[in-house]
Amino acid sequence: HEQMALHALAAARVMAMKLSSSSNALKRRAGGLVAVVYVSEGKDADAVNVLETVAEKACQQHGTRVLNVFRDGEYNRTGFTLGVGVASVAGHATPSVEPLKQSALALTEQALKTIDLRNHSATHPRCGAVDHISCHAVGDAPDDLAAQLAKCLGEGIGDRLKVPVLLYGLASSTGTQLADLRRKYGYFRRTSQDVSWSGAHRVGDGQVEADYGPSTIPPESGILMLGATRWVCNYNVPIVLGKCGVDADAADALAVARRLARQLSERGGGLPGVQAIALTHMIDAMGSTIEVACNLLDPSTCGPEMVQAEVERLFGEEGEFGWTVKRGYVTNLTPEDMLEQ
């Protein structure tokens, strides 16, 4: 009887372990949903302060959070990262995207009221007052949740705010990528010799194939590209030229830097999952700074360290302008940092 009792106890322990394992598999996993809203204003501190206040109030109202605000005065651009935790359980209903949609919509609406693209100028390309919104599932949150957010948000912006919305990535029914839209609609085409991009964004006959909203581009608001992808790391590497004798020197240096940026990018035969462009970032009494601005589409495969090393190699081999490659920087938090918040 004693031996039978021991066997029964052992069997009970095994069953308890199995039940515990099964229970753990159903436990809520750490995940999040993120929307990064890029607005074409970074120089006017008061205007950006108002936008940040609106974002904070909207997030408090809807139970979401402002995770990061990246102000770039030189590029006259600010990125607002809004997020919400997602508790996913196998077999349970998909979490609602409504709280984050409403938070991002409130920020977008205020930005469109604040910014007139016709009066905007920058050394960074842009196509709208609210230029771009990217939606991402982080941690254990499912990717289709980000796609759902992008579509719901796009519909709200198009219908309510009357801005042409173009979808990309997981939100696009045709699989169109952001880079495809940008090339198609003249995102990289400079409109000014002095500051590269200035005034209303113009596209051919002024019409776009919008997924939501009007097809005619409003000159004051431009167009908005909105999509869903896995997390993209933005990594910028400053290149300091020092004093250039004449403006032509800086222009020549920028032309070479753009050629090297193409070599760095996957499209130009460079690093996998890297998109890169060289932009004028700052010109002052000490000289000129160019930045190689990069999107790292798969940071786990090719991260900032690999990009930094390759930029240093490429620019080190071009010694004509005596430039100095500085340490690069990221413009946002990592998904891990976001989940901790």
233 contacts: CB under 8 Å, gap ≥ 6: 295, 296, 299, 303, 304, 330, 332, 334
Q: Position of tokens 């920028």?
A: 254
Answer for the pair 250, 283: CB distance below 8 angstroms, yes or no: yes
What would the 3-class secondary structure string for 112-142 be? Answer: HHHCCHHHCEECCCCCECEEEEEEEEEECCC
Sign of CA dihedral 164, 157, 79, 167: negative
Q: Which of 120, 124, 132, 136 is catalytic?
A: 124
What would the 3-class secondary structure string for 294-334 be? Answer: EEECCCCCCCHHHHHHHHHHHHHCCCCCCCEECCCEECCCC
Instruction: Tell me the two tokens of residue 229.
Output: 């992808």
Instruction: Tell me the two tokens of residue 269.
Output: 């035969």
229 contacts: CB under 8 Å, gap ≥ 6: 134, 136, 146, 169, 170, 178, 297
Instruction: Tell me the two tokens of residue 30.
Output: 């750490």
124 is catalytic: yes
Q: State how far the Cα of 193 lies from the Cα of 121, in Å rounded to an integer.
A: 11
Q: State how far the Cα of 76 lies from the Cα of 268, in Å rounded to an integer.
A: 28
Please provide the DSSP assignment of 13-68 as one string: HHHHHHHHHHHHHHSPEEEEEEEEEEES--S-HHHHHHHHHHHHHHHHHHT-EEEE
Q: Which H or E run includes 179? A: helix 178-184
Look at the chain and count its residues: 341
Q: Position of tokens 């005596």?
A: 322
Catalytic residue ranges:
124
